[in-house]
Amino acid sequence: MTRRPDIVFLVLDTQRADRLSCYGYPVKTSPNLDDFAANATRFERAIAAAQWTVPSHASMFTGLYPSEHQTLQSYSVLPKTIPTLAERLRDGGYYTAGFCNNPLVGVINNGLRRGFYSFLNYSGLLTSRPNQAGASPGFISRYRQVFKRILAGLLSQVQDAFARSDALLSLSFSPLMVPLWQTALSFKGNTAKSLEDTAHLLIQRRGVDDEQPVFAFVNLMGTHMPYHPPRRYIETFAPHVLSDRSAQNYLRQFNSDVYGWLAPLAGALDDQQKATLDGMYDAEVACQDELLGQFFQQLQASGRLEDTLVIICSDHGEHLGEKQFIGHSLSVYNELVQVPLIIHDPSGQLPKGQTSDRTVSTRRLFHTVLTAAGLASEAEAALSLFQELSAIPAAVPVFSEAIPPQNVLNLLQKRQPELVRARACDQPRRAVWVGNHKLIETGDTQLELYDCLDDPGESLNLSSILPENVEVLQDCLQSFAGTMTATVTNERASDFDDPEVQRRLRDLGYLED
């Protein structure tokens, strides 16, 4: 029997696709990812199912859109009736391990950790330090581990309470608390340590049975706010910050103003502010890329890489002032939901050095991993990304949903209710991609149509120019919403397949006969 591959599921939290050199960014931010992509398959138009961490990870872990799994808020819990990717792999014989730097995935009790034999957190009130499975600690060491486990459980309850309480959340955004949780609580975790621990598991395999394959989920927070890259990266990507006092003041204010990461801007950034955010973000991308290069090199040198399915993606991108948005709370514009997706496939089903320009959803990573592991049903295998380059299927609508995070919305309504109304912050946003067009529907009234191929920056709203296209794609969204509502309690929803909508899409040339 052929040994099943190890699987590395690497999420670059908050990484924009358009800030990586291999996606056409003119600044050389990602030489190591570029080299990796040159020997892998790169998807040009991968779409996150949601605009922020919790629902996006839930979609990647279940294969469901947010309206199906209903894990939409920081206080949401993934229903136990929905099996996670880690549970499926564990039950199928994989050793499952998580190495997570995002507290919303690794600390909050929302069900995303289900199915992992080992789950290591690198952020929060108490950072887990691995004694990787297979080690044999002495009595005192075991005692310390038990004590630490109990303390970690108690502190996890405290952190969980902050995620579920508006009052505690507001307290955490106060000027007194922000410096504490950004530094002392390791908000962005430890990228180097988490990659080092992942490599040790894959290479040394302590605690893993002979011939047992490994599934390693890794979440890195290097490109998430706040921005504190090492000086040498600032010198390369944002040198003006080192010499310009006004830029330094703006950056200091930005890094400490957590509310400012959530709220839309009242006006556009000026040129210097935009250059500062762009440069510092690029510096963080480059810093993380160097650490990724070291990780890839370790796997390559050990011989493990050639037998490992490596999926590199993002849960969402980031607004850096575009369209007067900051952060990743509200929109479904490309800056937020068009994400990198690079897959190194040892089986050869996804050829090295090839690029796919099809629009695909990151929810299908669930089906792709199960297929690679030999655990997918026939229906699940049909949604695997292995199908994208082996056949020429008719265009399938891809959806993304931005349900406003309620704790963010409560803060906005309390501080700037007029901004909530003006920017429709309290309204759900949904988008559908078919062919080269993307339709965004905000609430029940606002519609935006964009040509994704010719206008990736979404600068020209075509809704008044192509009303028939708007009508058909809006029918797509309404049919999708109806399907999700009807199947939300089911273990698996059927794929979007409304005959009338399909006919109209075909009449407009979106679908092939």
Contact criterion met (CB below 8 Å) for 439 and 448? yes
Q: Which DSSP state fits 173?
A: T
Cα dihedral 454, 457, 462, 466, rounded to 10, equals 40
For 160-219, write each residue's pLDDT tens digit.
555 555 555 555 555 555 555 555 456 789 999 999 999 999 999 999 999 999 999 999
Structure tokens at 126: 């108490």
3-state helix, strand, coil in the chain (%, to 5): 45, 15, 40
Q: pLDDT at position 211, please? A: 92
H-helix or E-strand containing 253? helix 245-256
Strands, E, within 176-260: which ranges? Answer: 214-220
Give the 3-state secondary structure of residue 218.
strand
pTM, entire model: 0.88
Q: Which domains does the chain have, with CATH numbers?
A: 6-272+281-290+307-507 (3.40.720.10)
CA–CA separation, 266 and 26 (whole Å): 30
423: amino acid identity, one letter: R
- Angle subtended by helix axes 31-38 and 271-302, to nearest 10: 50
CA–CA separation, 330 and 308 (whole Å): 36
Q: pLDDT at position 134, please? A: 35
Q: What is the 3-state secondary structure (H, E, C) of 5-50?
A: CEEEEEEECCCCHHHCHHHCCCCCCCHHHHHHHHCCEEEEEEECCE
**Residue with structure tokens 């040394």?**
204
CA–CA separation, 41 and 386 (whole Å): 10
Q: pLDDT at position 496, please? A: 53
**427: which residues sit within 8 A by CB, 6+ positions away?**
404, 442, 443, 446
Q: Which residues of the chain have pLDDT under 50?
A: 1, 129-144, 147-148, 151, 184, 392, 488-494
Q: pLDDT at position 151, please? A: 45
> Closest Cα to residue 104, out of 411, 408, 491, 370?
408
Q: pLDDT at position 488, please? A: 46
Structure tokens at 333: 């514009």
